[in-house]
Structure 1
């Protein structure tokens, strides 16, 4: 068996596509009895393409591979234990782990949370909601969030913007639904924010905000929280949006491709930009501020690196359906 696996793994890197496909099919056909010989090739000591191919083969074995992966987690070999954990989570989410590993992961997150400073949220692109930090419980209720659990910011950002952030499932009547996973950041303080609210949470979740309409979600949030914002940075389409809702009503908005681009009367912070724009900026700021990051900086909090002294508490990971906890989502997350 070892010689066969070694030869087939070597063929995974062959120049000929047919040879590579044949080797992969042959390794899949071996079944989970080959996991001990194959798993070492998924370690970081091997080239990335080979690691990816090997892991995809193990994942194709599905449930057949899980008992041995769990056994490796418990008894070793030691150098394979971490990779076994990663593949288990990629295959079945946290539910694929045994109780010992689940508790170990939860303990690790609790430890990492204690000294995760400073933190950083995406700046180059994205979309996010912002709401007052003292209205967290109201926001959770307004958005219908469930299984709200503490996480590090690194973990939360990956879950909401990089990993699979939605899951399709069927209810008792066989109707198909989607549950989404979202990340609520720690509270970030901005002493320069316009108005009396200086601490804000941001909520990230690409699929959630795209498919359920971030503008409508902000309006609904503002009913319970008094005020809520939605921001979009979309460099691919050269588009920016920012939206302010208060008490369930649109107060001010800007959208690059809307007609008209601005809605509502200019907010106080915009007056400074409109009055102090130089000759080159005069046209851009003639009606208000067209930049989402500038609006966020003045109204709530701008994404990117956050100062340790301006960061309060920790982040939260949540889902949008009571029957779909975070543990159902597949994929290993960084801590």
Structure 2
């Protein structure tokens, strides 16, 4: 583990996937580094202990120091925008304890907003119950509490079929996948409605940063007000004033026929993509065509958009990470906290960063 700790200190890319073969047997070596290493190595060892076993793996002294450090940072913290938030609930309450109870969460550990964001952004790393073991619950932001992730029961609904039971025929596999997605949409709608019955209102948002997948659900006083999912527009229910003046994500932009046919394909496929984006933006502006709305658009209009949080946002209390039923059964998921322990590796730029016109 010393070599991994040294890689972290050097700013090399190490992820939770690289720790799949590590476990409690490595704790003694990491704790020895905590006692005898230099400051940088000690911080990296602390990050690895947390990454392998969660807060309890740190030991009483380290956990006390970590909690003290987090408490001091919370006292002076300024709200900051989240990146890659993807899936979240927005609930109009400042009662964090009630929210934790509603989602079946326990073992809450206070975190700064930056630390909570970092933990959430790594929820998809690793295998098994990594995605469903732990949720991040924000402080109250302009009166709204945001919950990132699904509780265990929603992540594992009874009517979802496992891949091991699927046919080997590709078409039947695809149909099974679609059936599972339909079940999950129903579970998410039911959860949103149930939360609104308890808190007066609830909203659920999904915005993929890997493709165009997006959805939103709004419920009030136990009634579904609006549901939309780009993957199943036929299941839509209700409507929102916030959608007025926009195209829905599944609707095509009414551009002239053949508008992109003459874009040249070169050896670099990104050349075509960049030119497609430039021309699409230019034609939309020239023709005065509306933009598409998505979960980000609706969240910003109706509650709090995680990506637009900032010094202007009124924050009450502090955020927490908390365990779901899966977390209590299987333990904390593996999470390497770069922001707390060692220099982060540089971010990779988007292929569109070269030209935003």
TM-score by length of 1: 0.66
Counterpart residue number, 1:44:
9
Q: Does 1:300 align with 2:303?
A: yes
Counterpart residue number, 2:336:
332
User: Of 193, 197, 200, which aligns to 1:219?
Assistant: 193
1:301 is paired with a residue of what secondary structure? coil
User: Of 21, 33, 40, which aligns to 1:72?
Assistant: 33
1:296–1:302 CA contact under 8 A, matched in 2: yes
Q: CA deviation at 1:179?
A: 5.5
User: Of 309, 319, 322, which aligns to 1:318?
Assistant: 322
- Larger RCO (alpha carbons 8 Å, 6+ apart): 2
Counterpart residue number, 1:248:
222
Counterpart residue number, 1:99:
60
Q: Does 1:186 align with 2:139?
A: yes
Counterpart residue number, 1:157:
117
1:242–1:255 CA contact under 8 A, matched in 2: yes
Which has the larger displacement, 151-160 or 136-145?
Answer: 136-145
Unaligned runs of 5+ in 2: 158-186, 248-284, 341-357
Larger radius of gyration: 1
User: Of 286, 290, 294, which aligns to 1:291?
Assistant: 294
- C-alpha change, 1:136 and 1:95, in structure 2 (3 Å) is closer
Q: Which has the higher strand share?
A: 1
Unaligned runs of 5+ in 1: 1-31, 170-176, 190-198
CA-based RMSD of the aligned residues comes to: 3.8
Rounded Cα–Cα distance in structure 2 between residues aligned with 1:323 and 1:241: 26
Q: Does 1:267 align with 2:240?
A: yes
User: Of 89, 96, 107, which aligns to 2:50?
Assistant: 89
Rounded Cα–Cα distance in structure 2 between residues aligned with 1:166 and 1:143: 23
User: Once the two structures are superposed, what CA deviation does each residue of 1:64-95 show, in whole Å capped at 9, x if it has no partner?
Assistant: 44223213313444453222222222333222
User: Once the two structures are superposed, what CA deviation does each residue of 1:148-179 show, in whole Å capped at 9, x if it has no partner?
Assistant: 2321111112222314689968xxxxxxx996
TM-score by length of 2: 0.62
Q: CA deviation at 1:271?
A: 5.2
